[in-house]
Amino acid sequence: MKQQPTARAGTAGVRVRKHRRRPVPRWLKSSKEVEAVARSRCLMLLSVLSGEVPVTDAIAQAKISRATYYQLETRALQAMLAALNPLAGSSSAAGADLSAAMSRIEQLERMLKRMEQDKRRSQRLLLLTRKSMRTPLHAARRGRRPRARAVSESSPTSPGVSSP
């Protein structure tokens, strides 16, 4: 009788799917340009790193020493990091891509700096405009409030209006 997978803590009544084994990629199995030794070592390293095979079994099957295995593993992981790192390229094509990317980054940084300056300038202009709109155009006299009377705009005696 097959045993059902148990549910995780906190998930009552939920079935947990069984992990399935991942097949080896077809391109790695049938690739003509990859040498047989490199292909077998790559498969060995992947199977050990995935936890499918212990190191002892892998080195016994490949007939290599433990030190050689760890050297291969270190080189493989360093090569993987170099290949996946966008800032470090060793080949000429990667170097060209890197220099193009770096020049684009510098161009965008200059553009960002200019836009930040424009933003500060616009904010300052907006602030000054708002301040000027709050203050009245005519200075009010201090003291008593002016009487409520109709004063024509063309009258030379209106407060705050200078005569020509």
Residue 52 backbone dihedrals phi, psi, to 5 degrees = -70, -40
For the chain, the structural domain boundaries read 26-132
Residue 58 near residue 48, CB atoms below 8 Å: yes
Spatial separation of the C-alpha atoms in residues 40 and 23, rounded to whole Å: 15
For position 58, what pLDDT does the model report?
92
Helix axes 55-62, 66-84, angle to 10 degrees: 100
Tokens 């290949």 identify what position?
Answer: 83
Count of CB atoms situated within 10 Å of the CB of 90: 10
pLDDT per residue as tens digits for the range 79-104: 888 888 877 645 555 567 778 888 99
- Going by pLDDT thresholds of 50, 70 and 90, the confidence category of residue 1 is very low
**Residue 5 vs residue 144, higher pLDDT:** 144
| pLDDT band with cut points at 50, 70 and 90 for residue 66 | very high
Over the stretch 112-141, which tens digit does the pLDDT of each residue have?
999 999 999 999 999 998 888 876 656 666
Indicate if the pLDDT at residue 67 is higher than 50: yes
Percent of the chain with pLDDT over 90: 34
pLDDT of residue 70: 93
User: What is the model's pLDDT at position 154?
Assistant: 53
